[in-house]
Amino acid sequence: MSSIRKRTWTGPDGRSRQAWQVDYRDQSGKRRARQFDRKKDAETWATNALSEVHRGIHTPESVSVTVSAAAALWIKTVTANGREPTTIAAYEQHVRLHIVPKCGAKKLSQLTAPTVRLMLDAWLTELSRPMAVRVFRTFKAIITDAQERGLVAQNVALAVKVTKAPRQATRASPPSKAELRAILCAAEKSDDLKGRTMVELVIFSGLRASELRGLAWRSVDLKRSTVTVDQRADAEGMIGAPKSPASFRTIPLPKRVSATLREWKLACPGSEHDLVFPSEKGKVLSHAVMAKNHIKPILVAAKVTKAASTDPDEQVAKYTAHIFRHAAASLWIEQRMNAKRVQTLVGHGSIQVTFDTYGHLFEQFERDANDANAIERALFADAT
């Protein structure tokens, strides 16, 4: 049962005040009360609250916590569950920069679906769409965690949906074969054996930079000429599981790469994780050092360059390390490898991602083959 009554009182400034108060008992029988400016709001809330009490899921406002407090509890939980430091840092950034400024002081029990909708619309306006979606996902996780703790009756964010944007495929543009030949030639002439090994391996394996930095010698089979991805290094240099279950994979290597790896293994310094490409101190090599000291110099030596944005007269590496992942995929596709096998080797979670990224390459080589066959038919047709 509940009752709604009008309260009047005199404020500190001597002016008369009024509010509509809902008196009710929660599921444990304890008396509770909540005030509203309008009678209609009080009646609506009372109806919903009684329904929650009858279902045993009601959380009184006095028991609820603020969004900021709930976020802190959630961060503590995901940290204890072993999430990677870079992931935790991203969550903390979402909370600090985007969630707390919007609703940090609000109690969870005060949140409504319309309120959450307004916040989501603001994030979509202020941030890039991918970032807005990530922030909203973090927000929903915070409320879900609080609901499991009994700090709020329901997750109102679940009723709010992000409308799907038209799919925009990220089409890969790998280096030309002439550029790849120049890069491999420059790598072979380089005095940097570590850099040469990196470049050859990534061109023919398609490893992600994090997988390359986290690669251990136990995952390199020189007899069978394969490399297995079973761990990676994050931006903080922490070794952990690959990006997704699909990222666990074994990739065949050409004899050239195996020979270079065998040569590098004899010169490779020891490290705590038995890494293939450790830093000078035997730690995980940072992405910045890998690119600056080992990969970019080889591209510059190969004259695969572009004008620097700060100085048009200065030539810098044309590509980042990630482009070699696309190079590997393009070489596999050119050899008529089917899409499912390419998906497996690059470690994509779905075939759709593979088609979105490399579909145009499959189409290109299919057209080339058809054109070649058509030319042959036309040539012999003219002869008859």
Instruction: Round the average pLDDT of the chain to a whole number and report it.
Output: 86
The per-residue pLDDT for range 320-338, each reduced to its tens digit, is 888 898 999 888 888 888 8
Q: In this predicted structure, what is the pLDDT of residue 369?
A: 57
The per-residue pLDDT for range 244-269, each reduced to its tens digit, is 899 999 999 999 999 999 999 999 99
Select from 105, 97, 267 the least CA-distant residue to 191. 267
| Structural fold of domain 67-159 | DNA polymerase; domain 1 (1.10.150)
| Residue 311 pLDDT class (50, 70, 90 cuts) | confident
Q: In this predicted structure, what is the pLDDT of residue 30?
A: 81
| Antiparallel, parallel or unpaired: β 226-229 and 2-10 | unpaired
The helix/strand/coil state of 190 is coil
- For residue 249, the cross-strand partners are 229
Share of the chain above pLDDT 70, in %: 89
Q: In this predicted structure, what is the pLDDT of residue 173?
A: 80
- For residue 240, the cross-strand partners are 232
* Cβ-based neighbours of 39, under 8 Å, separated by 6 or more: 4, 6, 20
Using only C-alpha atoms, the chain has a radius of gyration, in whole angstroms, of 30
pLDDT reading at 49 higher than 70: yes
As a whole number of angstroms, the distance between CA 220 and CA 237 comes to: 20
Q: Taking residues 26-40, what's their average pLDDT?
A: 80
* Cβ-based neighbours of 171, under 8 Å, separated by 6 or more: 356, 357, 359, 360
* Cβ-based neighbours of 199, under 8 Å, separated by 6 or more: 183, 184, 187, 294, 295, 298, 324
Q: Taking residues 146-151, what's their average pLDDT?
A: 87
Q: In this predicted structure, what is the pLDDT of residue 214?
A: 95
Select from 187, 203, 165 the least CA-distant residue to 299. 187
Across 45-59, 60-74, 312-326, 333-347, least confident range: 45-59
φ, ψ (nearest 5 deg) of residue 297: -60, -35
Select from 45, 70, 47, 49 the least CA-distant residue to 58. 49
φ, ψ (nearest 5 deg) of residue 285: -70, 130
Domain boundaries, the chain: 2-55, 67-159, 177-346
As a whole number of angstroms, the distance between CA 94 and CA 104 comes to: 12
| Structural fold of domain 177-346 | hpI Integrase; Chain A (1.10.443)
The per-residue pLDDT for range 287-304, each reduced to its tens digit, is 999 999 999 999 999 999
| Residue 272 pLDDT class (50, 70, 90 cuts) | confident
| Antiparallel, parallel or unpaired: β 220-221 and 226-229 | antiparallel
Q: What tokens were used for 268?
A: 């490779």
Q: Please report, for residues 123, 364, 371, 381, 383, the alpha-carbon distance to residue 378 in angstroms, rounded to integers and kept in the order given.
A: 59, 21, 10, 5, 9
Angle between helix axes 323-334 and 193-205 (nearest 10 degrees) is: 50
pLDDT reading at 85 higher than 60: yes
As a whole number of angstroms, the distance between CA 75 and CA 98 comes to: 15
pLDDT reading at 168 higher than 60: no
The helix/strand/coil state of 279 is coil
DSSP classification of residue 108: G
If you average pLDDT over each of 48-57, 157-166, 369-378, which comes out highest?
A: 157-166
Give the E-state strand segments of the chain in sequence order. Answer: 2-10, 16-25, 31-36, 220-221, 226-229, 232-233, 239-240, 249-252, 305-307, 315-317
